[in-house]
Amino acid sequence: MLVVGLNYAPEPTGNAPYTTKLAEGLTGLGHQVEVFTGYPHYPQWQIAEGYSGLSTRQIINGVPVHRLRHTVPAVPRTLNRLLMELTFGLHAALRPWAKHDVVLVVSPGLFASAFAVAKARLKRIPVAIWIQDLYSRGLEETGGSGAITKAMKWVESRILKSCTGITVIHGRFRDYVVEELEVSGKNVDVIRNWTHIQHTPDFDRDAVRARFGWSPEETIALHAGNMGVKQGLENVVEAARLADAFDSRVRFVLLGDGNRREALHVAGDGIRSLSFIKPLSDREYSEALRAADVLIVNERPELREMSVPSKLTSYFATGLPVVAATNSESATADEVRASGAGILVDPQRPSALLRGVERLRNNASEAERLGQAGPAYASTVLSEAAAIDAYSHWLADLSGARRQLN
């Protein structure tokens, strides 16, 4: 099978860890997998050192990976991100394809996927799409104009209807695809994302905290992952400013990278209760999460359906409580409630975020109860083995449709 997705290892966040683990997992189950992907660029929004030319080929953990050049916006906005997707999608469609039983495309990027979907249909190959984010819903929730949102809805619907099968990462996504994009429900399946970080047992919490400069008296409230617009991390910066003002023992830590990182640095200049950590290796990332006291999700208040933060899968496996500053009607809020592993606070009030963290600091029994719920939820609902096995069967069923196409 051929997997076409803009993001892949060594990118540490976003879609890349899932696309990578899926390709490797399917290979381990005996599938012949080939990957077309872009040059590593996320979340720093520049091509990683060591990558040049128009294309390159690698073997990563037994998977043949073809990297194809594309534009990368220095400051990602709608139009230049669209151009990035289009250049990657066109490059992927123009490359020679080996004979495959099924093609799996990953969205984001939706517009890159459109080229692969069109080519697969011309070659009469079953094509599936794996939806991680909903573009039209994202425009609705971030204030896009009515005309542009309507156009995006039409385009997204047409692309999805052209696919042999669709998988989404949450039931709320399936509802939107079926009810709003008018895709037949029989073609849409839900397969959950999973915890892609492996937590090693040889972990010295005190040593890790000392390495990061976190004192034993501090309560560390850590947000990990992309620092973009939809995360609305200015809320965390202001919560840290309040922690300074009230001489709180809470330290807010922002771990990762993204197009808002520099602006957040500037906004947080001089705030004692705020720290930044650059992206870490998988092992160091795991250690940083587990060395914290509380893990944070923060989203802009208007976001409800467009995405479910992938960081939650890693958060739940740590055994630490989660504080989610998100709309109470969002898919993220549903996930936190379903897990029983965290509390929800108002995303429009930095004081609510600070009070939520202090509530768990001052109530050890509640923090422990919430923390214990996370690993149980991760192992039963967000199992990597179960997800990859589900994809294996789903894609095998779709590959059988090739006989009907030919």
pLDDT, greater one: 67 or 98: 67
Q: For residue 285, give the amino acid letter.
A: Y
| Domain containing residue 331: CATH number | 3.40.50.2000
Give first-to-last CA distance, the chain, whole Å: 17
pLDDT value of position 306: 58
Q: How far is CA 387 from CA 60, 194, 306, 363, in A?
A: 21, 7, 21, 35
* One domain, residues 85 and 142: yes
> How sure is the predictor about 307, in pLDDT bands with cuts at 50, 70 and 90?
low
With a cut of 90, say whether residue 405 has pLDDT above it: no
Domain assignment present for 199:
no
177-213 confidence digits (pLDDT tens):
999 999 999 999 999 988 777 777 788 999 999 999 9
- Could you tell me how far CA 108 lies from the centroid of its own chain? 10
Residue found by looking up tokens 């669709």 in the block: 166
Domain extent for 119: 2-194+383-404
Report how far residue 251's alpha carbon sits from residue 229's, in angstroms, rounded to the nearest whole number: 22
> How sure is the predictor about 220, in pLDDT bands with cuts at 50, 70 and 90?
very high
237-287 confidence digits (pLDDT tens):
999 999 999 999 999 999 999 889 999 999 999 999 999 999 898 889 999
The average pLDDT across 158-181 equals 93
* One domain, residues 130 and 115: yes
The average pLDDT across 164-171 equals 93
Domain assignment present for 55:
yes
pLDDT value of position 381: 86
Total residues found in the chain within this entry = 406
**Poorest-pLDDT segment among 51-65, 85-99, 102-116, 198-212:** 198-212
* One domain, residues 175 and 252: no
* One domain, residues 328 and 397: no
Backbone angles phi, psi at 382, to 5 degrees: -115, 40
With a cut of 60, say whether residue 125 has pLDDT above it: yes
pLDDT, greater one: 147 or 346: 346
Q: Give the global pTM.
A: 0.79
pLDDT value of position 134: 86
The average pLDDT across 68-75 equals 92
With a cut of 80, say whether residue 112 has pLDDT above it: yes
Report how far residue 207's alpha carbon sits from residue 204's, in angstroms, rounded to the nearest whole number: 5
* One domain, residues 19 and 129: yes
* One domain, residues 229 and 182: no
The average pLDDT across 31-40 equals 97
Percent share of the chain, pLDDT over 90: 74
pLDDT value of position 401: 57
* One domain, residues 129 and 221: no
**What mean pLDDT, rounded, does the chain reach?**
92
pLDDT value of position 403: 44
* One domain, residues 187 and 209: no
